[in-house]
Chain A
């Protein structure tokens, strides 16, 4: 009996000892987590040295341009990713349509949702909004960029801090995955770019300063072309949320008596071929469900590789001119029909 009692005491002592050890371990882990949280929290207040001359900050200039046009009559607002920033001559569009144009496009990784949210406050009566998403905005799985990626965190936490309220709870469930990268970049920039960031090679075309007053990027126009990374084959289904969000945006514009149009993105031959399975799902769905006119079929925006600057979607000078002319022609046709 005494033997059993002794064993029980020993066991309880060992259990108790283990509990103490576990508690100590958990306290250390909590201290580590707290340190990580502090690192993350502080990062938001660190100056964004790595990006302050980066093209993401061109969004501020675009907002200023839109503010200056507010209340001065109808305008054209272009919404999209970098395919639009690199591949549109808004001056030409403005001259042809006789209306001011602001190209709001910067980077596809801001996500289509944010791009639409960001443009809403500027939509006014008589405006024409043309939305030019890129294919990954429609994917139903990773690497979908409908909800944005790390560049969006830079925008809503540093470039336009007031716009963090645009990020929905559902969007945060996608975006939190990019928080480590954002935090790491902030600290890294603090050390690496303390004396300013140098944009060399094709990087020189990715600066705020290379955007003109219409919001188009012109930094690449006189640069040589660089080979594009060959993308993987894409077979993703279309995310219904994206189509619904586009229709919701169209309804919003209609309520403001503004017109909305949709255009496919330009894409290199190879990229088109490798995305064809996705496009074959996307086109009929949009034809059937999208509540806004589509300027032209996707295949019309498939262009030869010689017209591109450094990626599947970034046009060079020649490509930009051709695309802009096609865009004007298609938009005019649709406007005439309306």
Chain B
């Protein structure tokens, strides 16, 4: 089920009413309800893949329990291996099987060996990369003895399948989310109101920003060989806002929805386009995935310890794997690798944490000239990388970039409307003013009638740009 669908508009209030009015008295019943509605939510897309969710949940629940009962290192390692094999095996098959086959055939072809193979028509189950990583965090934390396994199977199933973040994150850690299923939750008015506001803001970003950018972006990328410098630049800029609006919009709706049910999910985006360097960008973009890779891959690899070469190797590995996580295409690998290359100079000069913990132009209305330059150059680097992310293949991305700097014509691209930029500007102003807040629609210290006028206008904009059946980009990852 899509958040931006009429089905969800009926689903959410119904679940809310059942949750707080019918199942409130019993925590287990409340969690069971969440499991049932989450499976319904997921099954609305394709009920057959519920089986994968069940397999993943059952396996990690029992592995976690068994692992905690033993101190035998060998046995613990074996159980951890089984969990990794099941989760990554399922993910690998559904997401990467054809990629590896095709890449192998291509590689053999370069050595003059022609192979006749046929790819299998595999449907990628929505959200598989997200819930697989979420449940893996559970067994890894138990293996590391950082988490005690839950005895309550319903809580665990609810943790794995919690519908607001099931299909596109944020990827929650078991240590953060699971305890929330195990203690009584009470309704918090302020939290629910702010959650509702965040949902509205998420819809604005998805429908008004992302979906209206998508039309132009598709037209430019699908016909990039005939486009001028300006059109190609506009296509790349609009894609950067499309993917931001789409994914951060989804995260806002997910976090806001979870808050209606008394849950706190982690912040997944923190105004990344105001980042002053690429390190800061990655601390603000898809935070739940970046921190997952940091904790479960980068640090075990050695992190920032060891020789300069080791550090560089680790950075390249983490970014490349992160790119590969997004999809079975070399474009994502190159995108990740490129971001790794961007990061290395910062690391070599010890500047990677230079802007950590601070907010740009803190306490001021506007940034300084130096900050503008830093934000601008970081943004420019990200849009070059986004071209790889959006292109159909690596060759196309290089051609696109090449034409951007050689085909000096300045005609506007197809379907470019000034209003798209106006709405992007509006979003950036809101986010700039709220850059110290967890989302761009806190609207603190604003008179109530102004706030309601903003709600009304936002709703009208959402209505205007609403298109049936516009899916989210990250559903494909």
A interface vs B, CB < 8 Å?
14, 18, 21-22, 24-25, 28-29, 32, 35-36, 39, 142-143, 176-178, 180-181, 183-185, 187-188, 192
Contact = CB atoms under 8 A, between A and B. Distances in A.
A105 to B, nearest CB: 24
Contacts of A188: 460, 464
B460 A187 contact: yes
Interface in B88-104: none
Contacts of B6: 176-177
B463 A24 contact: no
A142 B468 contact: yes
B187 A35 contact: no
B468 A36 contact: no
Nearest to B186: A18
Contacts of A28: 193, 196
A192 B193 CA distance: 32
Task: Report, nearest first, the 10 A-B pairs whose CB atoms are least far apart.
Answer: A184-B464, A184-B463, A180-B463, A21-B189, A180-B466, A188-B464, A187-B460, A18-B187, A183-B463, A25-B192
Contact of B189 (A24, A143, A185): A24
Contact of B196 (A29, A36, A180): A29
A184 B20 contact: no
B464 A185 contact: yes
Contacts of B192: 21, 25
B464 A39 contact: no
B392 interface: no
Interface in B137-187: 186-187
Contact of A25 (B187, B459, B469): B187
Nearest to B466: A180
A181 B461 CA distance: 9
Interface string B426-462: 0000000000000000000000000010011001111
Given A177-B6, A184-B460, A184-B464, 13 more contacts: A25-B187, A25-B192, A25-B193, A35-B459, A36-B459, A39-B459, A143-B468, A180-B463, A181-B463, A183-B460, A183-B463, A187-B464, A192-B419
Contacts of B465: 184
Which of A36, A143, A184 has most B Cβ within 10 Å?
A: A184
A22 B20 contact: yes
Interface SS of B by simple majority: helix
Contacts, number: 59
A188 B419 CA distance: 11
A181 B189 contact: no
B295 interface: no
B188 interface: yes
Nearest to B223: A227
A36 B459 CA distance: 8
Contacts of B189: 21-22, 24-25
6 contacts: A14-B186, A22-B189, A36-B459, A181-B463, A184-B462, A187-B464
Nearest to A229: B219
Contact of B455 (A35, A181, A185): A35
B452 A35 contact: yes
Contacts of B193: 25, 28
Nearest to A23: B189
Contact of B466 (A21, A36, A143, A181): A181
A39 B6 CA distance: 18
Nearest to A179: B463
Interface residues of B, number: 25
A39 B457 CA distance: 10
Interface in B32-84: none
B187 A21 contact: yes
A232 to B, nearest CB: 12
B463 to A, nearest CB: 3
Contact of B187 (A22, A36, A181): A22
A184 B460 CA distance: 5
A28 B466 CA distance: 24
Contacts of B188: 21
B274 to A, nearest CB: 29
Contacts of B455: 32, 35
A235 to B, nearest CB: 14
A186 to B, nearest CB: 9
A24 B193 CA distance: 10
A162 B311 CA distance: 73
Interface in B189-242: 189, 192-193, 196
Contacts of A183: 460, 463
A71 to B, nearest CB: 43
Nearest to A188: B464
A29 to B, nearest CB: 7
A184 B419 CA distance: 14
Contacts of A24: 189
A18 B187 CA distance: 6
B466 A184 contact: yes
A152 B189 CA distance: 41
A178 to B, nearest CB: 8
Nearest to B25: A15
A187 B460 CA distance: 7
Nearest to A189: B464
A21 B467 CA distance: 35
Nearest to A227: B223
A184 B20 CA distance: 33
Contacts of B196: 28-29, 32
A204 to B, nearest CB: 16
A39 B458 CA distance: 12
Contacts of A21: 187-189, 192
Contacts of A180: 462-463, 466
A231 to B, nearest CB: 14
Contacts of A184: 460-466
A187 B462 CA distance: 12
A25 B262 CA distance: 13
B44 to A, nearest CB: 14
Contacts of A187: 460, 463-464
Contact of B469 (A22, A39, A142): A142
A184 B466 CA distance: 9
B459 to A, nearest CB: 6
A20 to B, nearest CB: 9
Contacts of A142: 468-469
Contacts of B466: 180-181, 184
